[in-house]
Chains A and B, each alone.
Chain A
């Protein structure tokens, strides 16, 4: 229809214009089927982000040159929200007529994985539309409990064409990912109307640590075969309170922008049984000391969680405890990073004794836990094993935080003159 760039035709190479043409065809395909896709390509969003002010201010402005969609790359990546779309054979027929070759990657629905042996239809996770030398990667996002979006990993099944596209160069699909629901913005770039995340830079930031870990539902089921779940009134009540407290803590810390993860018993509960351990008495979170903010204490107090005790200080072995509803305690441990390990501290109030708990280095992943999107250490097994030893699979009801942990070390005694500061009990 003549909507090509003079520059594309002229000075830019055929390769560049091919990319733009393929994107244009793909956008035409999706809009003709009312499929609301949005651009999540990190490369293009990176370029867009540099000019974001200008793009926002002139949504319809003509572009002098093909600046974004002609940039060299193998793929252009788009996203699709599952619930805004119903699978249609028609789309693929049209795609074929337009000359696209396409590939669909389906797999089990993780939202049913936690369930006792449910098998639904497999769900589409990724599509690839190939035309000439360019390909579109369409990532399907699903809503998950915990008010977030999830996309699946891209795994090729045996019969699939491994050379269809250079899969290892894809930006999405190496791992599953978790994202907030994005706010979208309709913009016109390179004369193409396209939806993009309203704030490309924060989307790119989010993307860089979006890796998602599924709970180990099968192992959890096996665990409950061995140790039947406690469904007594007390257990049910505790779980309910712990879930509530965790939701409140997550809300408070997220509002402050403080990154946290499930630690100690709460992490073990997630890893071993995909649930809160009913005989644990508290909720445990970890925070890197570099993320510490003085606002944390007042924020929790404002949320209705009074400070119960504060041990240590920012420079050393900091630990905060807040009193949740009905005897459930929220423990926040601050973690200190060293060259080859990470540790957190403990303090015995009556003696002033210090303890140190050592962990191998870890990174953070997202997971879903009690209807919440939260962080856990990606290297969960090492983390849990460091803390609970090789026997972590066996439930232990009597637990002494000073002696039971596998990784506890004595760490001296606080000097008497510091006690007022480093041992505060309310």
Chain B
């Protein structure tokens, strides 16, 4: 049991989810036992086993933590090595590729460019891209195609690679379980004979030129379900082309010089390096009239996810009213590739020596980035804080330009955020509508300098406190009852699925269906009503106008809300005191919105949309708006689930914190 093996019940490759899955698995076993009713003896016996399992498991987890702490909080390993020695005058490269259950390596001309024999990580298909003229490593990826959707990412990546590059593939442990037809076909089109037939625990290596010849392929079939194929070692030669052939001949401009530098170094960014019709790296979006945030610095917090950063910066630089001179990208660590991306776009980047580990490290990186931002732009009263895994709405700066004066004038505000935690496709509707909420959503937000300098910076959690910066900022000691302004439809979109607290499943459940504004120049409605006192008037007006829903119906059912459009409805739920979110959490669950902790509330009131109607939820009697409840209406109470399942939710919340 101490051996690690792919287990169908264990899906995600992240340690934490793996741990979670273990727990789920245990729960299921328990449920089974209940059904079987085999009595106390069996129960005890199994409990003992389970406990032993748990102890071993915890030990292992602790061991992994240690191992991982030395690493960075990202998963990818990109171009960590210095470029290999130039091989310009040599025409042939010797390539060695090894695939086995517990180890993979790739050596080019005797230099190891990939070596992974770490336990319990690096499962799946490793891909290396070499420059066909120099032999330099341009990209290094691993796709855990044992898990779902990773094959899609691989296809995406392979399509991005320019024709003529050398591609090297090798499998570690297992790479076929979720390798779907499409992916197999792509590998086939690269010249692989084996790929279409790759199966469970096969070992496989392949070297070929994209759109060209195959240099070699080796394969070892797994003889039985419980065992792995024999290790394979492929030795082959690759013929180099001339530098001229490997480069594009773009017109000599300052932009193209940046492009050339980038494209000769890294791979996997697709059309930006296309010879014929490269995608622009300068966007010149329309300027904003009367742009109140033109001089507000923008801090982009990044780790080592250069492809994310690339996507993020593209959307940021395409947003109307963006001012590239105010953008600084803060990279947590000495990574080359993210810096290459920053330089491609002609922005300034700052690298941050890693201190501390994991959450605390992210937190320290945030602090350093914010302090540096206000140092670099001493005149700034605000800073926009973004992360590398966000898409930025085309009207992001327009949204801020229209609302920033509130943050300056209304002291009861904590932040303006571009993200509505409850703004899903089915619950957000109005791009011109803003809310006040007691929670701090993050994911694209504006920080007031005085708040940072006078309150947050002096007591920012020190590295030894392993706190998440955003959780810390949400604590009452920091927030002090202040609220954030958010839009109904988010102005940012969280696309990251590889992160410290993030995995594919989690992302799909909580982020994928988030609504994201794509309409330019949205004129925000009645911004003044967001001021502290005005907002109360506004809420009372809304409640006065709202139609009380039929409380005898099930609020989870679609029919709970009539088939109308543009109306305002209110429902009342039970909320005994300020911190009683029992019913809300159940309601959130069945409405398929954020339910891992409480978000989006304002004095016991939640505002969202259902079927294109404004839908208000008031917690009675804790909310001051309870007085609007007609005496005939009994607030709805929803039962929390049984204890056992409840216990599962605890680690889930921990996993919910966004990176």
Residue positions of A touching B, CB distance < 8 A? 83, 86, 88-90, 109, 111-112, 114-121, 143-147, 228-229, 231, 233, 235-236, 239-240, 371
Contact = CB atoms under 8 A, between A and B. Distances in A.
B365 to A, nearest CB: 9
Contact of B375 (A86, A90, A114, A240): A114
Contacts of B453: 371
B460 to A, nearest CB: 8
A120 B374 CA distance: 15
B28 interface: no
Contacts of A114: 371, 375
Contacts of A90: 254
B376 interface: yes
B349 A120 contact: yes
Given A112-B350, A118-B350, A145 B355 contact: no
B368 A115 contact: yes
B459 interface: yes
A112 B459 CA distance: 20
B325 interface: yes
Given A116-B368, A239-B458, A121 B348 contact: yes
A151 to B, nearest CB: 15
Contacts of A146: 378
B253 to A, nearest CB: 10
Given A143-B378, A231-B458, A118 B364 contact: no
B352 interface: yes
A371 B380 CA distance: 12
B375 A145 contact: yes
Given A118-B368, A240-B454, A111 B351 contact: no
B375 A112 contact: yes
B176 to A, nearest CB: 43
A120 B459 CA distance: 25
B353 interface: yes
Contacts of B257: 89
A228 B458 contact: no
Nearest to B367: A116
28 contacts: A83-B325, A86-B325, A88-B254, A89-B257, A90-B254, A111-B372, A112-B350, A112-B372, A115-B368, A116-B353, A117-B352, A117-B368, A118-B330, A118-B352, A118-B353, A119-B351, A119-B352, A120-B348, A120-B351, A121-B350, A143-B378, A146-B378, A228-B462, A229-B462, A231-B459, A231-B462, A239-B458, A371-B453
Contacts of A240: 454, 458
A161 to B, nearest CB: 26
Contacts of B378: 143-147, 371
Contacts of A83: 325
A119 B458 contact: no
Interface residues of B, number: 28
Contacts of B330: 118
A382 to B, nearest CB: 29
Given A236-B458, A236-B459, A239-B458, A145 B374 contact: yes
Contacts of B372: 111-112, 115, 118, 120
Interface of B: 254, 257, 325, 330, 348-353, 355, 364, 368, 371-372, 374-379, 453-455, 458-460, 462
Given A89-B254, A119-B350, A111 B458 contact: no
Given A90-B254, A229-B462, 8 more contacts: A83-B325, A111-B375, A116-B353, A119-B353, A120-B351, A121-B350, A233-B459, A236-B458
B333 to A, nearest CB: 11
Contact of A115 (B348, B375, B377): B375
A378 to B, nearest CB: 23
Contacts of A112: 350, 372, 375-376
A111 B371 CA distance: 10
Nearest to A276: B458
Contact of B349 (A111, A121, A236): A121
Q: Which 3 A-B pairs have the closest CB atoms?
A: A117-B353, A120-B350, A111-B375
Chain B CB within 10 Å, residue with most, of A118, A121, A144, A239: A118
Nearest to A90: B254
B612 to A, nearest CB: 46
B379 A143 contact: yes
Contacts of A233: 459
A240 B454 CA distance: 6
B32 to A, nearest CB: 51
A334 to B, nearest CB: 31
A115 B349 contact: no
Contacts of B375: 111-112, 114-115, 144-145
Contacts of B377: 143
Nearest to A144: B378
B298 to A, nearest CB: 15
Given A90-B254, A120-B350, A121-B348, A115 B459 contact: no
A235 B355 CA distance: 25
Nearest to A119: B351
A143 B375 CA distance: 9
A239 B456 CA distance: 13
A121 B330 CA distance: 11
Contacts of A111: 372, 375-376
Contacts of B376: 109, 111-112
